[in-house]
Structure 1
Amino acid sequence: MPETILVTGASGYVASHVIRQFLEAGYKVRGTVRNEASAEKVRHAHAQYADNLSFSYVKDMSVPGAFNEAVQGIDGIIHTASPFILDAKDYEKELFTPAVNGTLFILQAAKAHAPGVRRIVITSSFASVLDVTKGLRPGYVYTETNWNPMTVEETHAAGPSPAYLVSKTLAEKAAFDFVEKEKPGFSIATVTPPMVYGPLLETYDSMEKLNTSSMDIYRLFNGSLKEVPDTAFWAYIDVRDLARAHYLAYTTPAAANQRYLTAARNFSYQILCDMIRAKYPELVATTPEGRANQPLPDVYRLDTSKAKKELGLEYRSLEETLFDAVDTFLTM
């Protein structure tokens, strides 16, 4: 019988592609969602695999025991659910506690109620790698050995965006600490992507409901911006390649208790606007010109050789990622 994989936060952007990756590989998938409306949205996105898709309802993942029922009978877990809030007011309540507890509760549930689980892959973020205080950091190369050094105390002066970065760091470190101290019967692997772009699998009845990553692209050509925005994170990965990274981290024995930095290449919003204006004449008027054809500044780079060597992960081009995303939005 095929294995059953639990994917948390099943209605999310990354999760939708992770689900598709496993369904196409012949696995059964159980997704956690908050309500039936979210479940129906996921069903619609994967209608051709309906017989291999089921759901477990988790209204609040920060509640102790939230995943106890969802993990029963599961063979493996992909934990994508985590708060993505860049304008939080109460950092502890909105970011730190739910990010850490959501991760710990899935690990605790697996240890106590899912003896068949052997691997849990956790969606972390480049946020847990980057030292935002260093800025562009010309010539520096980030690897899996780097950890975001900002403390919880420092976020109160730094603001909500750095607080989000720290929440991802706390959650990822908590996962590795759990495995080291509790020594469960399963191993973990974490994937740390930067910005995530690419096409949508789900549909939206309003573009205002786009996920944060997709809105980051859509705003560049929908007429809402008069100037090219400043680039905050200088690297990206295609959502389909990120989903593949999760699949490979789950199926590769050598990935046990490993951390993987995943990114295709560096980019800037100026480069994206240049590409959109060149490819889509109909969008020239609504896409800011900025300083056209400005070269990428000297910024930090990401060494993703570990994921390539150990997982065999390959990446799509920026052209494929961007144009597939734009084409998706234009047909909605």
Structure 2
Amino acid sequence: MPSIPNPLRSKLCLNSTQISGFEISKHPVFITGSTEYIGSQVVAATLKAGYRVRLSIRMIEQESALRKRYPGFNTDIETVVISDLSNVDDFQKPLRGVDYIFHIASPMAGKGVGFRDGYVNAAVEGTLAVLNAAMIFKGSLFHQCYHW
């Protein structure tokens, strides 16, 4: 069987000095969905590439597990609790000083609602909130937003 290429590396074109052709910024990279598999891989690659990260978490209790996952990078990790990704105003402070956003978070399973309302609409609302927040709070200073 052929080997499967690392999708993160091919998507982000990561090396030690850049993400997708952009020079390393002294500002943190904001990442949603960092507690799940894909998000955790993006965090690891971003830290290894030399960036600082600001990670959104839904509950403060998630912070210690995140820090344990990335030993040696604790000074490069900030966390911010955002329990509702569909609320644009909740992004005002977390986006302060950020040049790049990776929006990977998706609705949590098991809320007992239908697929369309529980997942599709919630994912769309969360993505729109992140994009709107980037436009409102970052404006022309904003560089890139990636969404999976």
Shared fold (TM-score, shorter chain, > 0.5):
yes
Would you say the 8 A contact 2:34–2:55 is kept in 1? Answer: yes
Would you say the 8 A contact 2:32–2:104 is kept in 1? Answer: yes
Residue matched to 1:39: 63
Give secondary structure in 1 for the equivalent of 2:101.
strand
- Identity value in percent: 25
Match of 2:40 among 6, 16, 20: 16
Q: 1:67 to 1:87 in 2, by over 3 A?
A: closer
Distance 2:36 2:90 in 1: 18
TM-score by length of 1: 0.35
Per-residue displacement from partner, 1:56-111 (whole Å, max 9, x unpaired)? 11011123423222212101000000126499642343112210110000001111
Would you say the 8 A contact 2:101–2:146 is kept in 1? Answer: yes
Would you say the 8 A contact 1:2–1:26 is kept in 2? Answer: no
TM-score by length of 2: 0.74
Give secondary structure in 1 for the equivalent of 2:90.
coil
Distance 1:113 1:95 in 2: 26
Residue matched to 1:83: 107
Q: Aligned Cα RMSD in Å? A: 2.0
Paired residues, number: 123
Which residue identity lines up with residue 59 of structure 2 in the other structure?
Answer: N
Match of 1:69 among 93, 101, 113: 93
Distance 2:38 2:112 in 1: 21
Q: Which runs of 4+ in 1 moved over 3 A?
A: 84-89
Distance 1:87 1:51 in 2: 35
Is 1:117 aligned to residue 142 of structure 2? Answer: yes
Is 1:59 aligned to residue 83 of structure 2? Answer: yes
Give secondary structure in 1 for the equivalent of 2:118.
helix
Is 1:103 aligned to residue 131 of structure 2? Answer: no
Would you say the 8 A contact 1:65–1:109 is kept in 2? Answer: yes
Distance 1:87 1:54 in 2: 28
Unpaired runs of 5+ in structure 2?
Answer: 1-24
Per-residue displacement from partner, 1:124-170 (whole Å, max 9, x unpaired)? xxxxxxxxxxxxxxxxxxxxxxxxxxxxxxxxxxxxxxxxxxxxxxx
Would you say the 8 A contact 1:30–1:55 is kept in 2? Answer: yes
Unpaired runs of 5+ in structure 1?
Answer: 124-332
Please report how far the alpha carbon of residue 39 of structure 1 lies from its aligned counterpart in structure 2 after TM superposition.
1.4
Residue matched to 2:50: 26
